[in-house]
Structure 1
């Protein structure tokens, strides 16, 4: 329990600094904690991650300054399509082979790391994207991206920030703003995914492993993670750390790489 609370502190940190909502950290940690569930551990980890992201992302959004959230003005269609895609992805994750979800998670994150390192616009902002001079304004994300983003994010249990942060970065936002706006976008993904997960079918191995599930959600693990995360989110949203933009971007990439490795080792 104390280990999960300690990891919860880290999920709070990643929610504020990287917009992850806790999903990237929660998935490998819960998969490790519930390893006694065998092949079902990844399904439970993905579902538990969605619940953690709902609370973390919702709380982080509530304490974010209104002027920052104004960057999503006019993004209603995008949010609706994210939610629609997330519903489809969550249903797909319930019937997909657990090993497929694990390998897809690690593979997608690894490809994202390569993309961020090689393609301009993340580490090396593209001057055509906007936001590189006072006269330019960041562009909104196209609503058409909502369904594929939501589907992939919910299927893998990553919340969406792995896609939205790079996209907003390339649209001209600073890392600080891109990660802050990732929280409400993550909420749009995690809400329907959590609803589907709470109604998930039973996991027979849970009784022998002494894991108490609500649907597919390990409520005990989720509670411990949130106990550690919420105070950190509150403090850091009120007193955000000042991190150089390029260092912030490198830290984002480093965390993605570390989590991909953690997921593979948790198997």
Structure 2
């Protein structure tokens, strides 16, 4: 148990870095890590993938809020790209979280991997992500993108516990925003997904000891102990990474997570 806590603590530190630099909020790191720890320890009655997604959502509430506050103080958040998009993301997130409770753990893991694969392919094959001609001012979000797109982002992100940054970052990137601003905006847009997901998963009845519904409280505590100090320490690096390097690193991290998830299923 102590070893598992230390592993989660270390990966929590990595989560803090990815939250600030990539707007992940933790989902792409915490889901594979919590899933791996639970399957390795073979905890009786544990539904590893559902617990991993739920715990990721709970951790994301805190991480995304902390990072969003930091980015707001640095003047990187633009209200026009946050609201009303966040409201429609919230609607989709409530539905996505509820739907995920009916999916089998294996199906949820495969959907998580498929989501990563599609996102990576889109980023590499379609123009406008790895390099972008920055527009002044950037292109605003259309009504259809805000409403239907927002609900779609919330639906998928909450079901998989990933916060939606992998949809919001490419979306904002293709509107002409530099990588530093697109990833900064991903944090406040992840908060409604994380809150909706946490409320639904925490309300699940008959939870084992140490869990609030599907949320593993010990794992969440370990991850947050690592991530929150790291978010504070990493905040000054935002904007110093060259745009091209920043976007390439974003795709590279997704490839690494996809490899880990596929390896766990073999």
TM-score (structure 2 length as normaliser): 0.90
Q: 1:239: how far off?
A: 4.8
Which digits, 9 at most, give the CA deviation of each residue in 1:85-105, with x for residues without a partner?
A: 001010111111111110000
CA contact (8 A) 2:89 2:153 kept: yes
Partner of 1:86: 93
1-side partners of 2:128 and 2:237: how far apart? 28
Match of 1:263 among 257, 261, 264: 261
1:1-267 equivalent positions in 2, closer than 5 A: 1-35=5-39, 36-37=42-43, 40-66=47-73, 67-69=75-77, 71-73=78-80, 75-125=82-132, 127=133, 131-132=134-135, 135-140=136-141, 142-144=145-147, 145-202=149-206, 206=208, 212-240=210-238, 242-267=240-265
Q: 1:169: how far off?
A: 0.6
| 4+ residue runs over 3 A deviation | 238-241
CA contact (8 A) 1:105 1:156 kept: yes
Gaps of 5+ in 1: none
Q: Give the number of aligned pairs.
A: 254
2-side partners of 1:172 and 1:246: how far apart? 14
1-side partners of 2:152 and 2:100: how far apart? 14
Structure 1 residues 30-39 or 75-84, which shifts more?
30-39
CA contact (8 A) 2:82 2:188 kept: no
Gaps of 5+ in 2: none
RMSD value, Cα? 1.7
| 1:79–1:8 Cα change, 3 Å | same
CA contact (8 A) 1:122 1:249 kept: yes
